[in-house]
Structure 1
Amino acid sequence: MQYLLDMKIGEALQKKLAKKYEPSTMVSLKFNRYDVALKTDEEGNPILLFIGKADENGTIKGDRYTRRLVKDSSGAVIKDHWDYKGKTQ
């Protein structure tokens, strides 16, 4: 089964990931025909992404990504990059 991201996050999903969500939680949502789960940091930025198909328990089988979000001392973003971490099962 090949998923939308296929090791690269598309522009439409990037827009959703740029939004702020409830801090320090797991957020579930739908993106096109995919189920998505996001884990947020203490500021509400998504830092962990699961995308694929959710089973009856809500566990997503698909792909996992982590975000590298580096800020300087004034809070300005220096680096913002999503890394593909492999398949989830």
Structure 2
Amino acid sequence: MKIGGQLLKKLAKKYEPSSMVHTHFRDYDLAMKTDEEGNPVLLFIGTANEEGIIKGDRYARRLLKDAEGKVVKDHWDYKGKI
């Protein structure tokens, strides 16, 4: 599964810092782990079971910032099926 433009817009938002955020996107369940600034850095997308564990795909985000804190590189890497 590729991350499309609409999902990237959802992932560009800020969420509660240092937490796991559960939400939905179209027919998929999402779980996002955020960093200390509230940026999603780990994404699980697929179907959640009764315990809330998602079976599907896992992505990791690479956020590279310069000395002033501006984002130089923002890229999502596919890490495989879970």
Structure 2 length as normaliser, TM-score? 0.99
1:27 maps to a residue whose letter is V
Please name the residue that 1:10 is paired with.
Answer: 4
Query: How many residues were matched structurally?
Result: 82
**CA RMSD in angstroms, aligned pairs only:** 0.4
For residue 85 of structure 1, report the CA deviation from its aligned partner.
Answer: 0.2
Please name the residue that 1:61 is paired with.
Answer: 55
Please name the residue that 2:80 is paired with.
Answer: 86
Per the alignment, in what secondary structure is the counterpart of residue 32 of structure 2? strand
User: Which residues of structure 1 form unaligned runs of 5+?
Assistant: 1-5
Q: 1:45 aligns with which of 39, 47, 50?
A: 39
User: Which residues of structure 2 form unaligned runs of 5+?
Assistant: none
Please name the residue that 2:26 is paired with.
Answer: 32
- Deviating above 6 A after TM superposition, structure 1's stretches of 4 or more consecutive aligned residues are none
* CA deviation profile, 1:14-51 (whole Å, cap 9, x unmatched): 00000000000000000001000000000000000000
Per the alignment, in what secondary structure is the counterpart of residue 15 of structure 1? helix
